[in-house]
Amino acid sequence: MKKSIIFLLAILYAGIVWGQTTPNWLQFDERERNYPSSVYITGYAPGNTRAGESKVVAEERLRKDAMAYVTESVLVQVNSEKRKREERIKTQATGKEENEQIQSVFESNVNTSSNLDLAGVKTETYIDDSKGIIHAFAYVKKDELIGYYNASFTITLQQLESAINTAKQLETAGEKAKARKQYEDAIPLLVKAEQAQDVLSALGSPISTSQSEKTAKYRSEIVLALAKLAQGVYIYVESKEDLFGKSTSLIANKVKGILSKNGCSFTDTAAKADFILKLNASARERSDNNGIFFCDADVEIKLIKRQTQQAVCEDEIKQKGGDTSYEKAARKAFEDVANVIADKLMEWVKN
């Protein structure tokens, strides 16, 4: 009797010294029985402390390893779903140009599945001092993940729809730069929605066909809108340039050339323009000095926002030019004033 009591006390003492009883996930068959793959996604990482590493640090490292195994097991399936979706997108694209637009717009912003942060993953550790092994175990219920990603998908889709509607309103109002920024800001939302969609498919709980069609529709809208807006701001030019009685387009042509290099486009129809630029220029003789002639270019400019018909920039600019004749001096003044005008206009058309 006395020996039995001593034996029981020894076991109790060992339990106190060595910590809690052996967990129900330590052995492979126990993990399979207590955390079946039909219900759970699990990760198991055993290991030892490394040289110069404390037990606490080693425990945390192995805990992260176990969590990484959980993420990786989902990520393999997610990447498979992502590849299927991208193949569908390529098939539905109208041609090579649209495929290239899709790749450049989305690949340059974010990688759809490189960052997968699973919610609700729990971890446990067990230290076997007798063998010097630290065991880490991570697990999460599939239905909890499904619930989380269903909610995430619904909320993100609403945010995405709102962002696209705002971008459309800005585009309609002629605010092309702001519309482009809004569409670009919508891309991470689309990526998040598509990732949730891929995770749900990987977990065997795909979203409805109508929801899937919505994400595809939003993706297409963003791609086409950005491709359209990438063409830049459209400007319609009305120019009246008098070079000592001769009609010319020296200023208008040079201004167009400079603005074209900075993402602006020009249209022959005012109704299609974002801005209407009105130029009224004339040359004025100034003086001559030992065969060097000087002229002034007097220019009135007015930049009108077509959508509101309001002048956003209005100014009178004078520019001096010198050469071997009054006509050459005037031409020089016209060319130089074009640089000044282009710099002034750039502040407006690019914002």
Query: Has residue 314 got a pLDDT over 70?
Result: yes
pTM strictly above 0.85: no
Query: Has residue 88 got a pLDDT over 90?
Result: no
CATH class of 234-349: alpha beta
Beta bridge partners of 298: 282, 318
Report the residue count for the chain: 351
Query: Has residue 97 got a pLDDT over 70?
Result: no
| pLDDT tens per residue across span 232-283 | 788 899 999 999 999 999 999 999 989 888 878 888 888 878 889 999 999 9
pLDDT higher at 88 or 306: 306
Query: Three-class SS of residue 336?
Result: helix
- For residue 321, what is the enclosing H or E element? strand 310-323
Q: How do the domains of the chain map onto residue ranges? A: 234-349
| Pairing label, strands 275-289, 234-243 | parallel
| pLDDT tens per residue across span 160-200 | 999 999 999 988 877 777 888 899 889 989 988 988 888 89
Q: Mean pLDDT of all residues in the chain?
A: 84
Query: Has residue 125 got a pLDDT over 90?
Result: yes
What is the C-alpha radius of gyration for the chain, rounded to an integer number of angstroms? Answer: 35
Query: Three-class SS of residue 199?
Result: helix
